[in-house]
Structure 1
């Protein structure tokens, strides 16, 4: 007879073996969660002295009940409506060309500086992230607009691709972040508070990225030559062109901050307003609407399947008591709260080298959250810390999903060149983490002032 802890360890080993074999993350969690719950329940019943036949029957009942009940709970969770609606809003903005207006506005004000096109790309990514909530969408959309321009002005390939890859990660931090929505659901935190907590760190990280670009071109001016200076009329036209997207972003975030909207209502309002603007500007066709519907359903179903996997896997982890043992082990170490936080961050950075962000989030939270709760960390602040570390994983070798996205847009740029270009931005994220740890109010100020 095995202990439930042994069952838990075997389950984790099986999970990582399946992931290494490129199994679907969601299906891997569902399979391990189901059969792990079955086996762990059987072992618990046998330990209580039940006959093997009754223990096996109880194991099947618990596993099947967990699979059906948790699947229904994930699929029927009202708060999860924000996911398809914000995805829809971002897709509508992408196909209607709103993102182009955002980049042109940033370029009008920054393009005449050395490295200005790369800085405009960061600003454009930050703005588009506030509309789509997706790092991949931000990287793809802004990459297609910005990379040809940077090539036209003979920007260094490493700086150009690095700026797009790093700027795209802002979609995971700046609201409406898909990662924050999943974190909020799995940790039972307020989606609205997490959204507000991401605004100031998102702006600061964007400025740090722009600072990194300025430092690089100051040291080596040839990396990012200055573009043409825009006159006042061009700047005015660029601002007018960006007005639709900034209006949607401003009204959506202001509505959540003031309490006028719940996050679900804000997502619905944003999607409808984006659709109305795109329709009024005659930038939608039946073909584009068909594409938006398919993209939205595909992204939504992928995220929901991952969430269902997490909902099935988390009860298995609780049953094995591994999270409890981890809390006992780490809190007993003589390294203090900051030392434990450093260990957690280092583990996340390591996992980010081979796991995708959302997958890492749902896999680790069952173990990490009890540690955070036991040490008294503010879970909203900790959510921002985790999201930034996940952003680092998006541009870390060898997986670095945003790097592969940029590679698909610029296939002639070697992978090593792209990875070389992202390191300055990676260290800017480290600096952002240090600032958050030293000054937690960077993340907590806006949530604490919400209505």
Structure 2
């Protein structure tokens, strides 16, 4: 059996395993390990497993993952995420659709602490859905905005998606983090604009909340100041060259923990809970990365990436046309596959093509991560939709999917803007490193 045939069979088996909800890491490990055995024998497979696992585990850049995850988990258990929502709620909650907009802003702020879309959707859902229900928001809008707002967690830095992209493509984590700032703000603005349009067309979907006094606004903003300070210090420190991304993660985690102890919101039990959840999440990410370093050599040995690259080149679509075709493939795959699985499966195939076409790999990373976000709210997988369903069990799944549709379209518009204006993604990393 030829290498190309084995490679194609391996991809099909992997897709089937993922469709049947086999954990991503185990599915990739199984296909990659058996595939290398078939192509190069037992010794090659066992040697690769031992060497790649050690090399990956000893990579100091990966320390950023548990540190930023810990920062987000501590922020959750100490109620800092609630303060973000309360500040946005106090300032804009009294306008039509204001509670929904406050939820999006809260998701964006929490994303800058956690780097996790699932954590953002789950945390802000618990914080905001009850409030929106109390003021008679349409369930489609309230649940849709939480599911869509949660996707900001994978784009606004720190982003686990950017870290994995950087590791798989050997790009700079710092450049990717900075590249995600302005696109993240643009997407947040697009979501708020979508809420405003929905509530303008159908006012009953998002009634105005209660007004707050100036003193209440100032009090709420003061409560959220420590969170804003941590965000500005970590991201600003990277941009200013004061911290590397790993150092910024350590500073951010230390400050959040210190804040929790000083305000007496963080005790040994809550710290243990946050640390345990951080370890579990980190282990999941590391298993995916280890499995990626098995399946990528299998794909390379099968010459599948070369064949796909030659096919795309032969179509003569040009750089932008080829880029658009790749992003459409990501959109389709996002309806069925988990985001990290898509990165691991597709980057060895598409990334060499992108480099050959002269497309900036940092810009491509932003576009890919935004496309992965769209998969988080696309049926039938749409993991963020199922997260919101777990928080709002009385709302039908179909209603939530209908609720996210306007925000999915807003993401399409944002993606088009970022393709047309790559400098939005590149201005910060180029300013920092040039």
Length-normalised TM-score, structure 1: 0.95
Give the whole-Å Cα distance in 2 for the aligned partners of 1:253 and 1:87: 15
- The alpha carbon displacement at 1:334 in A equals 3.1
Matching of residue 20 in structure 1 with residue 2 in structure 2: no
Matching of residue 131 in structure 1 with residue 113 in structure 2: yes
Matching of residue 401 in structure 1 with residue 383 in structure 2: yes
> RMSD across aligned C-alpha pairs, in angstroms?
0.9
- The alpha carbon displacement at 1:343 in A equals 1.5
- The alpha carbon displacement at 1:17 in A equals 2.1
Matching of residue 285 in structure 1 with residue 267 in structure 2: yes
Q: Which residue matches 2:9?
A: 10
Query: Which shows bigger deviation, 375-384 or 349-358?
Result: 349-358
- The alpha carbon displacement at 1:24 in A equals 1.7
Q: Which residue matches 1:271?
A: 253
Give the whole-Å Cα distance in 2 for the aligned partners of 1:417 and 1:367: 36
Q: Secondary structure at the match of 1:204?
A: helix
Give the whole-Å Cα distance in 1 for the aligned partners of 2:14 and 2:405: 30
Matching of residue 34 in structure 1 with residue 16 in structure 2: no
1:68-98 Cα distance to aligned partner (Å, 9 max, x none)? 1111112111100000000000000000001
Q: Which residue matches 1:173?
A: 155
Matching of residue 113 in structure 1 with residue 95 in structure 2: yes
Matching of residue 252 in structure 1 with residue 265 in structure 2: no
1:34-75 Cα distance to aligned partner (Å, 9 max, x none)? 11112122xxxxxxxxxxxxxxxxx22211111111111121
Query: Which shows bigger deviation, 6-15 or 385-394?
Result: 6-15
Matching of residue 81 in structure 1 with residue 63 in structure 2: yes
Give the whole-Å Cα distance in 1 for the aligned partners of 2:414 and 2:55: 36
Give the whole-Å Cα distance in 1 for the aligned partners of 2:377 and 2:3: 37
Match 2:374 to one of 387, 392, 397: 392
Matching of residue 302 in structure 1 with residue 301 in structure 2: no
Match 2:308 to one of 309, 320, 326: 326
Larger radius of gyration between Structure 1 and Structure 2: 1
Matching of residue 366 in structure 1 with residue 348 in structure 2: yes
Query: Which shows bigger deviation, 227-236 or 113-122?
Result: 227-236
- Please say if residues 93 and 274 of structure 1, whose CA atoms lie closer than 8 Å, have aligned partners that are also in contact: yes
- The alpha carbon displacement at 1:202 in A equals 0.2
Give the whole-Å Cα distance in 2 for the aligned partners of 1:266 and 1:148: 34
Give the whole-Å Cα distance in 1 for the aligned partners of 2:19 and 2:144: 27
Give the whole-Å Cα distance in 1 for the aligned partners of 2:22 and 2:51: 24
- The alpha carbon displacement at 1:423 in A equals 0.4
Matching of residue 432 in structure 1 with residue 414 in structure 2: yes
Matching of residue 347 in structure 1 with residue 346 in structure 2: no
Q: Which residue matches 1:55?
A: none
- The alpha carbon displacement at 1:338 in A equals 2.1
Query: Which shows bigger deviation, 223-232 or 126-135?
Result: 223-232
Match 2:144 to one of 162, 165, 177: 162
Give the whole-Å Cα distance in 2 for the aligned partners of 1:265 and 1:4: 43
- Please say if residues 327 and 374 of structure 1, whose CA atoms lie closer than 8 Å, have aligned partners that are also in contact: no
- Structure 1's unaligned 5+ residue stretches are 42-58
Q: Which residue matches 2:425?
A: 443
Match 2:179 to one of 197, 200, 213: 197
Give the whole-Å Cα distance in 2 for the aligned partners of 1:135 and 1:334: 36
Match 2:188 to one of 206, 209, 219: 206
- Structure 2's unaligned 5+ residue stretches are none
Give the whole-Å Cα distance in 2 for the aligned partners of 1:412 and 1:405: 13
Give the whole-Å Cα distance in 1 for the aligned partners of 2:19 and 2:98: 41
Give the whole-Å Cα distance in 1 for the aligned partners of 2:386 and 2:201: 28
Q: Which residue matches 2:127?
A: 145
Q: Which residue matches 1:60?
A: 42
Give the whole-Å Cα distance in 2 for the aligned partners of 1:157 and 1:23: 32
Give the whole-Å Cα distance in 1 for the aligned partners of 2:23 and 2:187: 32
1:135-179 Cα distance to aligned partner (Å, 9 max, x none)? 011111111111000001000000000000000000000000000
- Please say if residues 71 and 312 of structure 1, whose CA atoms lie closer than 8 Å, have aligned partners that are also in contact: no
- The alpha carbon displacement at 1:16 in A equals 1.6
Length-normalised TM-score, structure 2: 0.98
